[in-house]
Amino acid sequence: MIILAIESSCDETAAAVMENDEHLLANIINSQIDLHGKYGGVVPELASRKHLEDIYPVVERALQEANITLDQVDGLAITQGPGLIGSLLVGLSFAKALSLVKKIPYVGVDHMAGHLFSAFLAEKKPSFPYIALVASGGHSSLFHVTSFQQFSVIGRTRDDAAGEAFDKVAKILGLPYPGGPIISKLSAQGNPSAIKFPRSWLAKDSLDFSFSGLKTSVANYVNQHRESAVTTDMNPGPQTADICASFQEAVVDVLSSKAIRAAKNFGVKDVVLCGGVAANPRLRELLLERGQNNGMEVFMPPIEFCTDNAAMIALAGFHRFQQKAAVTTYDMDVYSRSTMPQPNL
């Protein structure tokens, strides 16, 4: 089965072509980072307008790279939600038009399901059941994944997502958007124990996250030490690297501890890390170390499959097509918030 997938839930316009769930024939990603950078975050209205401009050429490039025409496509897989409504609508409307004109069936794919199964795009694949930590600018969630059809949220952030915390702290420090890459770079020159920033563990045994208290704590510290903390004209202050390293350590400590705790609670041996924050070298190192110490195997797909992409939507879409009831109708709509089931823990 040849699947053409489209992802447009946030600030990447992406299209991929995949044969079954194994052979990735094309994977095109057009990032809007330059457009949103000067605003310090994604501006939804600008994002949807840019998707509108980019979707046609991105899909066309994916077909060209895969060396196929639309007539060879057996199914369309489209991100249905969660995400920015205007952005999602561009992808879904485009897919509906293709589907109607070319008579190609389509399925809606949950963006989080895409992330959860992105681990299968790597050579070394996890086995069911596994725990997945999805940490990005929009999500910080833990999932218990038992099959391609069954997965549930077992923990989520109660306020900011991990990547969002990196982006906001970068802004406080006068660093450019997105904050994650620059903070992790500066952290390598800083002391992670220099400043004691708080870790929010929430209730005992809770698998939820909270990063807004940490962000406020960094903001308070920076306000009290403005001269040495803030970056001016791209020159970090004498304390900037220590603040970055201490903040980063607090985030990755909580993320990795809760992922390992989740695997223990569910008696699971495989742990998957994905989402844009998975690009953080310290998070990768710590999760790997803690996984090994607990006899677990940690899977980290290549970064191009961790950040938003359409290859993961193609793979999850292929498995939706395997469930006959999942094939959707033309009155299908997008959704902004997750509809995933949550078990009573």
- Please identify, using beta-carbon distances, which residue of 83 and 236 lies nearer to Zn ion: 83
Find how far residue 343's CA is from the centre of its chain.
22
Q: Which stretch binds Zn ion (CB under 5 A): 120-128, 148-156, 199-207, 300-308?
A: 300-308
Name the residues that contact ligand KG4, by CB under 6 A: 10, 136-138, 163-164, 166-167, 178-181, 184, 275-277, 279-280, 307-308
Residue 164 touching Zn ion (CB under 5 A): no
Report the nearest approach of ligand KG4 to the CB of residue 136 (Å): 3
- Please identify, using beta-carbon distances, which residue of 37 and 238 lies nearer to ligand KG4: 37
> Which stretch of DSSP H or E encloses residue 134?
strand 130-135
Q: Within 10 A of 336 (CB to CB), how many other CB atoms are there?
A: 12
Q: Which stretch binds Zn ion (CB under 5 A): 213-221, 223-231, 287-295, 307-315?
A: 307-315
Q: How far is CA 44 from CA 98, 162, 245, 289, in A?
A: 25, 20, 31, 38
In angstroms, what is the C-alpha Rg of the chain?
Answer: 20
- Please identify, using beta-carbon distances, which residue of 108 and 180 lies nearer to ligand KG4: 180
Within 118-193, residue ranges assigned H as helices are 162-172, 179-187
Residue/partner pairs of 100-103 with CB below 8 Å, 24 or more apart: 100/330, 102/70, 102/71, 102/73
Report the nearest approach of ligand KG4 to the CB of residue 321 (Å): 24
Residues 108-147 that bind Zn ion (CB under 5 A): 136
Report the nearest approach of ligand KG4 to the CB of residue 163 (Å): 3
Residue 341, both tokens:
């089931």
State which of residues 261, 308, 312, 318 lies at the interface with Zn ion (CB under 5 A): 308
Report the nearest approach of ligand KG4 to the CB of residue 179 (Å): 5
Report what 180 binds from ligand KG4, Zn ion, none; CB cut-off 5-8 Å by kind.
ligand KG4
Q: How far apart are CA 18 and CA 73, in angstroms?
A: 10
- Please identify, using beta-carbon distances, which residue of 217 and 307 lies nearer to ligand KG4: 307
Report the nearest approach of ligand KG4 to the CB of residue 139 (Å): 7
Report the nearest approach of Zn ion to the CB of residue 196 (Å): 31
Cβ proximity of 76 and 106 under 8 Å: yes
To 5 degrees, how large is the angle CA 217–CA 280–CA 83?
80
- Please identify, using beta-carbon distances, which residue of 66 and 251 lies nearer to ligand KG4: 251
Report what 178 binds from ligand KG4, Zn ion, none; CB cut-off 5-8 Å by kind.
ligand KG4
Q: How far apart are CA 8 and CA 219, in angstroms?
A: 32
- Please identify, using beta-carbon distances, which residue of 249 and 308 lies nearer to ligand KG4: 308
Q: How far apart are CA 91 and CA 30, in angstroms?
A: 13
Q: How far apart are CA 281 and CA 299, in angstroms?
A: 14
- Please identify, using beta-carbon distances, which residue of 110 and 242 lies nearer to Zn ion: 110
Q: What are phi and psi of 105, to 5 degrees?
A: -70, 155
To 5 degrees, how large is the angle CA 342–CA 321–CA 67?
125
Report the nearest approach of ligand KG4 to the CB of residue 329 (Å): 28
- Please identify, using beta-carbon distances, which residue of 168 and 319 lies nearer to ligand KG4: 168
Report what 277 binds from ligand KG4, Zn ion, none; CB cut-off 5-8 Å by kind.
ligand KG4
Facing residues of 155 across strands?
Answer: 142
Report what 155 binds from ligand KG4, Zn ion, none; CB cut-off 5-8 Å by kind.
none
Q: How far apart are CA 187 and CA 181, in angstroms?
A: 10
Interface residues with Zn ion (CB under 5 A) are 136, 308
